[in-house]
């Protein structure tokens, strides 16, 4: 062929299988090119003749967004050169052989805009003429393996957990009864990456100014805030609609989701219509899926007894009447039994040095931030040090883990007496899944110094001054605190369970009463009246109407410890609890001699039946895997309208749903089914059985799938 013929492109190989493996994206599939910024990838070009470096000039053009522009960083033009120069778009390291093909290495800067790109090649024909050929498309993601990227995480073990692991646990329940809730993140299911960018393209920022929004997608702080706002639907066509009531008839109860994939697919299939319904653990788990998919190391965090402090005064007030009933309040302040958010790992170039690393992001719609329902990123280090002036939303998160709780006795239409002032009852057992393990890790010490330590009180005072300013010095609460109203009581009261509480059984509690010797100003027996009340405890910290009351009169002599049994019959709570099956038993003791009162509390979590999952053989891609699921109804009532949902990325495409009918009391159901694993590696099968009576009977099985053996 004539060596001076114009160079023409004849073929393109984006080498997706090879590149995706090198960029840790092979789990998303090998058919299309998905790469991470700040890292080389290769492609092979075929021409009509051998490439002549001395005379042929080739330029590459990469574009993303609606109106690509070099000024906005959404368009890059770069010439093929021998060597690469710094952290810029480049095409280099090419190799030519005697044939007509050319192997080229492309490099994307570590601060490039993430998203779907089109790639073109321009071949100069001399005299200012050039011919353009499309090469194809690729998706560019954040790169936590690159030291130049703001999300760089220098630990392969942590990267395997916080980027590559597509299942995990959310911790729920109550600080004394923490349950691990398996969740299928599924960030590598083939369509999830497209849905993630669909989410960004439906945000209010994009709709207002698409080009500007795209240009800021190089900034992980910006992307996190957009996703945090888009997971809830309070302002926009976000992914999930929250529902903290108890009527889920228009959608799915938050307790009945097994994972993120079904939620994201439904949202996309219905054109961005919010999915019904979510609560905090659903919002945070879906955000974890999106951020891991985009390449940001992310984990799910549970904070037990989490304050929602609207007026930012760092105190949450709760009220009981003299019959020990917890009263509803008009205030928006509350203490959630638990609240779930995310942490994302990043460098914070927008903050002073020292606040890199884990950052809190909370997609649950609680407060607006810059006009939208989003929260974060707030540096965990800044929260621990009380640096509440640092962006974003640090005062709100600080209060979630550090507010004080003040419990009042409400009598004659007003709060008359402080029963308890707790400085350490909020922000307990802050938890996440342990790396490489099924265990729970307590990370409370990342958020605050030990309760009551000099450092903790010092940080609290620093944060208080910043959040409250001079007005802190005059409040009726502080006047009461200073009035000596907290002198010790002459007795100690404790409520404890006499046996394991199971749903469907009567509950037996013991009241333990003990005289405190060194507070014995009162001579002779002490007479007190104790009024008890039991109420269903709601996830948001409130309660329902009383379901049981009881009263007892006690006479206490010195040095005596006495116990009284309390029976709470099943018939009292049978139809009165929420799906979370929590009961608060409260008692108020009134001393006849002084007229003063004291409070005793016991929260009870009722155990649902347990299911077991067994697999009989070793698991192999494409080969039948038999699964045995067993559930015994240990309750005294039937479980009606039972439905089983199975999910597990790499094991099942989507979900398997079976209707099981009614399971009689004391009966066992055994289910056998066959799966055909799709992907090799560690996988998790999640099983949820829900019924009219108990919404959340969950189980899981970790399964190691081996690659298909050559036949």
Binding residues for Ca(2+): 402, 404, 451, 456
Cα separations in angstroms, 322 against 364, 423, 564, 699 = 35, 23, 21, 42
280 is known as an active-site residue: yes
With CA atoms as reference, report the closest residue to 289 among 244, 227, 209: 227
Is there a contact between 345 and 162 (Cβ–Cβ < 8 Å)?
yes
Cα gap 187→290, rounded to integer Å: 7
554 forms beta bridges with: 528
334 forms beta bridges with: 308
339 is known as an active-site residue: yes
Is there a contact between 141 and 196 (Cβ–Cβ < 8 Å)?
no
Catalytic residue of the set 224, 280, 344, 375: 280
Note the maximum CA span of the chain.
Answer: 117
How is 556-579 classified by DSSP, letter by letter? E-TT-EEEEEEEE-HHHHTTT--T
3-state class of 678 per DSSP? coil
Handedness of CA 587, 413, 582, 572 (dihedral sign): positive
Catalytic residue of the set 100, 149, 150, 362: 362
Cα separations in angstroms, 285 against 152, 200, 340 = 22, 17, 9
Q: What SS3 string covers 626-675?
A: EEEEEEECCCCCCEEEEEEEEECCCCCCCEEEEEEEEECCCCEEEEEEEE
Is there a contact between 426 and 316 (Cβ–Cβ < 8 Å)?
yes
362 is known as an active-site residue: yes
Cα gap 378→308, rounded to integer Å: 16
The DSSP bridge pattern shows strands 177-184 and 619-620 to be unpaired
CA 261 to chain centre: 15
Cα gap 326→140, rounded to integer Å: 53
Query: Where are the alpha helices (H) located in 232-356, listed in sequence order?
Result: 261-269, 280-294
Which H or E run includes 463?
helix 454-468
Query: Where are the alpha helices (H) located in 203-311, listed in sequence order?
Result: 204-208, 210-215, 220-231, 261-269, 280-294
611 forms beta bridges with: 631
The DSSP bridge pattern shows strands 414-422 and 404-411 to be antiparallel
Catalytic residue of the set 23, 24, 174, 339: 339
Contacts of 308 (CB under 8 A, 6+ apart): 316, 332, 333, 334, 335, 336, 339, 366, 400
Is there a contact between 225 and 376 (Cβ–Cβ < 8 Å)?
yes
Cα gap 7→138, rounded to integer Å: 24
Contacts of 160 (CB under 8 A, 6+ apart): 436
CA 300 to chain centre: 4
Residues belonging to the active site:
280, 339, 362
């Amino acid at each position: 062929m004539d060596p001076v013929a114009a160079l023409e492109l004849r073929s393109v190989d984006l080498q997706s299988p090879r590149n995706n493996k090198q960029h840790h994206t092979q789990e998303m599939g090998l058919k299309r090119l998905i790469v991470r910024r700040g890292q080389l990838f290769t492609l092979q070009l075929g021409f009509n003749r051998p490439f002549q470096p001395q005379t042929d000039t080739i330029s590459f053009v990469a574009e993303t967004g609606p109106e690509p522009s070099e000024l906005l960083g959404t368009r890059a033009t770069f010439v093929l050169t021998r060597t690469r120069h710094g952290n810029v778009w480049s095409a280099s390291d090419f190799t030519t052989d005697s044939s007509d093909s050319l192997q080229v290495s492309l490099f994307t800067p570590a601060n490039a805009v993430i998203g779907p790109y089109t790639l073109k090649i321009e071949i100069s024909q001399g005299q200012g003429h050039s011919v353009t050929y499309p090469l194809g498309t690729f998706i560019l993601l954040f790169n936590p393996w690159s030291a130049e990227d703001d999300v760089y995480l220098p630990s392969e073990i942590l990267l395997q957990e916080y980027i590559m692991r597509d299942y995990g646990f959310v911790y729920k329940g109550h600080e004394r009864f923490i349950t691990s809730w398996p969740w299928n993140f599924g960030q590598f299911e083939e369509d999830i990456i497209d849905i993630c960018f669909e989410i960004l393209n439906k945000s209010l920022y994009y709709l207002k100014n698409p080009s500007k929004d795209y240009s800021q997608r190089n900034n992980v702080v910006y992307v996190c805030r957009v996703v945090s706002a888009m997971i809830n639907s309070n302002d926009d066509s976000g992914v999930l609609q929250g529902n903290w009531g108890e009527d889920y008839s228009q959608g799915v109860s938050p307790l009945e989701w097994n994972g993120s994939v079904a939620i994201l697919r439904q949202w996309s299939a219905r054109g961005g219509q919010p999915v019904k319904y979510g609560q905090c653990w659903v919002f945070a788990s879906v955000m974890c899926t999106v951020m891991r998919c985009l390449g940001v190391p992310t984990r799910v965090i549970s904070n037990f007894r989490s304050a929602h402090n609207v007026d930012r005064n760092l105190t949450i007030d709760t009220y009981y009447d003299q019959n020990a009933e917890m009263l509803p309040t008009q205030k928006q302040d509350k203490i959630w039994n638990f609240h779930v958010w995310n942490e994302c790992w990043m460098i914070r170039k927008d903050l002073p040095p020292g606040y890199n690393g884990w950052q809190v992001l909370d997609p649950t719609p609680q407060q607006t931030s810059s006009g939208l329902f989003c929260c974060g990123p707030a540096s965990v280090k800044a929260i621990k040090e009380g640096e509440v002036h640092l962006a974003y939303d640090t005062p709100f998160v600080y209060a979630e883990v550090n507010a004080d709780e003040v419990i009042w006795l409400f009598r004659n239409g007003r709060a008359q007496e402080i029963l308890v002032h707790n400085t350490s009852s909020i922000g307990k057992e802050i938890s996440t899944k342990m790396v490489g393990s099924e265990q729970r890790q307590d990370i409370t010490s990342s958020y605050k110094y030990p309760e009551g330590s000099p450092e903790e009180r010092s940080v609290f005072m620093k944060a208080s001054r910043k959040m409250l300013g001079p007005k802190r010095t005059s409040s009726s609460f502080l006047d009461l605190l200073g009035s000596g109203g907290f002198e010790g009581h002459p007795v100690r009261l404790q409520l404890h369970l006499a046996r394991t509480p199971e749903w469907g059984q009567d509950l037996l509690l013991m009241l333990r009463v003990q005289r405190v010797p060194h507070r014995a100003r009162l001579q002779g027996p002490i007479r007190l009246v104790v009024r008890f009340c039991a109420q269903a405890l709601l996830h948001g910290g409130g309660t329902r109407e009383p379901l049981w009351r009881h009263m007892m009169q006690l006479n206490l002599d010195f040095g005596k410890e006495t116990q009284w049994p309390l029976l709470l019959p099943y018939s009292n709570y049978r139809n009165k609890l929420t799906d979370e099956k929590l009961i608060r038993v409260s008692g108020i003791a009134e001393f006849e001699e002084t007229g003063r009162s004291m409070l005793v509390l016991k929260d009870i979590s009722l155990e649902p039946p347990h299911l077991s999952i067994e697999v009989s053989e070793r698991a192999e891609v494409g080969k039948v895997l038999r699964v045995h699921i067993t559930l015994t109804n240990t309750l005294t009532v039937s479980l009606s309208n039972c439905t089983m949902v199975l999910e597990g990325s790499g094991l099942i495409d989507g979900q398997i749903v079976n209707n099981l009918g009614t399971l009689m009391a004391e009966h066992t159901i055994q289910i056998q089914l066959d799966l055909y694993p799709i992907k090799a590696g560690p996988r998790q099968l999640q099983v949820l059985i829900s019924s009219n009576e108990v919404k959340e009977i969950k189980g899981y099985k970790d399964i190691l799938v081996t690659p298909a053996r050559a036949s």
